[in-house]
Chains A and B, each alone.
Chain A
Amino acid sequence: MVNNRRAFLKLAGGGAAAASLPLGACALLEPTKGKVVVIGGGFGGATAAKYIRRADSGVQVTLVDRDAEYLTCPFSNLVLGGLKRMEDIRVDRSGLARNHGITMIRDEAVAIDPAKREVRLASGAVLPYDRLVVAPGIEVRLDRVKGYDAAAAELVPHAWKAGPQTTLLRRQLEAMPDGGVFLMGAPQNPYRCPPGPYERVSMIAHYFKQAKPRAKILIVDPKPSFSKQGAFQEGWQALYAGMIEWQSLPPGNAINEIVAREKRIVTGFGDWKGDVVNFIPPQTAGKIALDAGLANQTGFCPVDPQTMESTQVKGIHVIGDSSIAGTMPKSGSAASSQAKTAAAAIVAAINGQPPAGAAYTNTCYSLVGPNYGISVTGVYRPGPQGIADVPGSGGVSPLRAAAEVRRSEADLTHDWYKSIIRDSFA
């Protein structure tokens, strides 16, 4: 398992690869106990890289991410609501190299060879590993619902990854006339950030209340219920009475088609039109995880709940939204939590020790209004059916709480964001 290959640059091959590795050059001269490659520099991947190095600085860690900058999905709904700007959700990842000695490579991982234990990058470079962490997040599927492809997403944005899609949806909302209708096609489970669609609606309602008080919001939802439902609906009644309607489709009905040019959602139960339409399409594990055979028929990746190691391919740990993590939601908080357990397991394996045991938590806040926060928490351990809640723990903010409690949770929402960014990326 421990492999002291030093021919990193030779294996990587090619001038382009060497040029992209200036930060790794010094580390390569030091003896290493083993090499870890991390694919994906979001909450999961960054936290895993950092916590491996914290636990054992003798392990060489290389983090590969195709994007120069990282925009967080958490708080992207606040951009839609006008509470934050895009630059507020841009994360500085330079501390991962500076503070923790992680080699950062901007490139795209295009293939994994688990037999040779190598990752091939788009540039042609090849990275050898003793352990691999796969944390690519979700793939937003533009090939699953009739009419909803990449071109349609320019008319009917999904905005389910923070970036140009977020800006596009915000511009459409700004251009919408007062008295118009914002229509959301909500996703079927499982998907990234279970409370996310409903926080989004809340933030858009906040914006409408200021700028377009006669506007309406309609959610068409294939689910019979949704995350934090009682707390959200209580907040909507308190802050935006009469503005938001939630239409749950009867069992057996789904969103079958998007007619983007007509801003129309087609279901077996009827059609809906909006002036601005946001459709959140089906999702799977990231493409590299699918290509590497890490996913099962669900489109997500089964893992050992003790270590987050793939049950399909040894030596590869899948963390975050791409993984099947039992009762844990797909969230940045969950990804960061899983990363810490995976990091401990990886360091133990490289040192020839048994796994250090698993602990998992999730804490997600949602803003219903600027001074109205609600939360869901969970504490989890490995169980016979996968990762499972510790019985009696966790849950959603209580109903019928006073305004001071909602304000306190709104303040904690901002503390949470600042803290998880520091803990994951700095």
Chain B
Amino acid sequence: MTRYGPLVVAAALLGAPAAIAQQAAPYAPPAAPAPMPAIATLAAQCFLCHGTDGKSETNVVTLAGLPRDFIAKSMKDFRGGQKTGTIMPRISKGYSDAEIDALAAYFSSGGATGASGGKTW
């Protein structure tokens, strides 16, 4: 379960080059499960830590309004082991390329609910 974890963290602490972390995490992204959930449902899973609609009220990063490419690259780098972190390396491995791209588009556009009648405060 933690086969990739210790080396990824060790690499972070030592300032090791990304290549070492990559070796520690041979990884094939999952194929998109069919059907891919509606984006509002998929994105809402991120709200728990990143704040409702991706607007964080804690030290966790606000996703709403971040550049689309930055979100997508961050997720893919966490997944591939090029980027270190605490829980995101583990979480990112649960998402396909298509899901990551959809999430990046959703949050970069502000994290609107996209549902009729939906409202925030």
Interface residue B94 (Cβ < 8 Å from any Cβ of A): yes
Query: A401-B6, A418-B57 are known contacts. Are A357 and B41 too (CB-CB below 8 A)?
Result: yes
CB <8 Å contact, B58 and A55:
no
Could you say which residues of chain A place their CB within 8 Å of the CB of B116? 56
Query: A392-B30, A394-B93 are known contacts. Are A337 and B5 too (CB-CB below 8 A)?
Result: no
CB <8 Å contact, B1 and A395:
yes
CB <8 Å contact, A379 and B95:
yes
> Chain A, 340-364, contact with B by CB distance < 8 Å: what is the 0/1 string?
1100100100000000111111010
Q: In chain B, residues 38-63, which have Cβ atoms closer than 8 Å to a Cβ of chain A?
A: 38, 40-42, 44-45, 47-52, 56-60
Interface residue B118 (Cβ < 8 Å from any Cβ of A): yes
Could you say which residues of chain A place their CB within 8 Å of the CB of B98? none
Interface residue A416 (Cβ < 8 Å from any Cβ of B): yes
Could you say which residues of chain B place their CB within 8 Å of the CB of A415? 49, 58-60
Question: Which residue of A54, A333, A356, A389 is within 8 Å of B38 (Cβ)?
Answer: A356
Q: Which residue of B lies closest to A98 (CB)?
A: B121
CB <8 Å contact, B13 and A391:
no
State the CA gap A394–B35 with chains docked (Å): 21
Query: A340-B45, A419-B58 are known contacts. Are A398 and B93 too (CB-CB below 8 A)?
Result: no
Most chain B Cβ neighbours within 10 Å, of A358, A377, A409: A377
Question: Which residue of B28, B50, B115 is within 8 Å of A56 (Cβ)?
Answer: B115
Interface residue A261 (Cβ < 8 Å from any Cβ of B): no
Could you say which residues of chain B place their CB within 8 Å of the CB of A116? none
CB <8 Å contact, B117 and A341:
no
Interface residue B70 (Cβ < 8 Å from any Cβ of A): no
CB <8 Å contact, B113 and A379:
no
CB <8 Å contact, B91 and A419:
no
Q: In chain A, residues 44-67, which have Cβ atoms closer than 8 Å to a Cβ of chain B?
A: 51, 54-58
CB <8 Å contact, A356 and B40:
yes
Give chain A's interface secondary structure class.
mixed
Could you say which residues of chain B place their CB within 8 Å of the CB of A397? 2, 5, 86
Q: Which residue of A lies closest to B14 (CB)?
A: A402
Could you say which residues of chain B place their CB within 8 Å of the CB of A55? 40, 113, 115, 117-118
Could you say which residues of chain A place their CB within 8 Å of the CB of B94? 361, 378-380, 389-390, 392-394
Interface residue A189 (Cβ < 8 Å from any Cβ of B): no
CB <8 Å contact, B27 and A358:
no
| A279 vs chain B, min Cβ distance (A) | 29
Question: Which residue of A380, A396, A418 is within 8 Å of B58 (Cβ)?
Answer: A418
Q: Which residue of B lies closest to A417 (CB)?
A: B58
| A52 vs chain B, min Cβ distance (A) | 10
Q: In chain B, residues 70-121, which have Cβ atoms closer than 8 Å to a Cβ of chain A?
A: 86-87, 90-95, 113, 115-121
State the CA gap A165–B30 with chains docked (Å): 44
Interface residue B33 (Cβ < 8 Å from any Cβ of A): yes
> Chain B, 1-35, contact with A by CB distance < 8 Å: what is the 0/1 string?
11001101110010000000000000110100101
Most chain B Cβ neighbours within 10 Å, of A359, A375, A389: A359
Could you say which residues of chain B place their CB within 8 Å of the CB of A398? 2, 5-6, 8-9
> Chain A, 392-426, contact with B by CB distance < 8 Å: what is the 0/1 string?
11111111111011001101101110111011001
Could you say which residues of chain A place their CB within 8 Å of the CB of B117? 55-58
Query: A57-B117, A359-B42, A361-B94 are known contacts. Are A336 and B6 too (CB-CB below 8 A)?
Result: no
Could you say which residues of chain B place their CB within 8 Å of the CB of A333? 48
Question: Which residue of B2, B48, B95 is within 8 Å of A336 (Cβ)?
Answer: B48
Could you say which residues of chain B place their CB within 8 Å of the CB of A379? 91, 93-95
| B75 vs chain A, min Cβ distance (A) | 12
| B105 vs chain A, min Cβ distance (A) | 16
Could you say which residues of chain A place their CB within 8 Å of the CB of B121? 99
Could you say which residues of chain B place their CB within 8 Å of the CB of A56? 115-118
Q: Which residue of B lies closest to A398 (CB)?
A: B5
Query: A357-B37, A377-B91, A392-B27 are known contacts. Are A412 and B60 too (CB-CB below 8 A)?
Result: yes
Most chain A Cβ neighbours within 10 Å, of B45, B59, B86: B86
CB <8 Å contact, A381 and B6:
no
Could you say which residues of chain A place their CB within 8 Å of the CB of B41? 340-341, 344, 356-359
Question: Which residue of A54, A375, A402, A420 is within 8 Å of B118 (Cβ)?
Answer: A54
The 8 closest A-B CB pairs, nearest first, are A379-B94, A398-B5, A357-B37, A393-B94, A415-B58, A356-B38, A390-B94, A57-B117
19 contacts between A and B (CB under 8 A): A341-B41, A357-B41, A358-B37, A361-B45, A375-B86, A377-B87, A379-B93, A393-B92, A393-B94, A394-B94, A395-B2, A397-B2, A398-B8, A402-B13, A412-B86, A415-B58, A419-B56, A422-B52, A423-B51
Question: Can you name 7 extra interface pairs (CB under 8 A) apart from A58-B117, A363-B49, A392-B30?
Answer: A336-B48, A340-B41, A357-B42, A363-B48, A392-B27, A396-B1, A412-B49
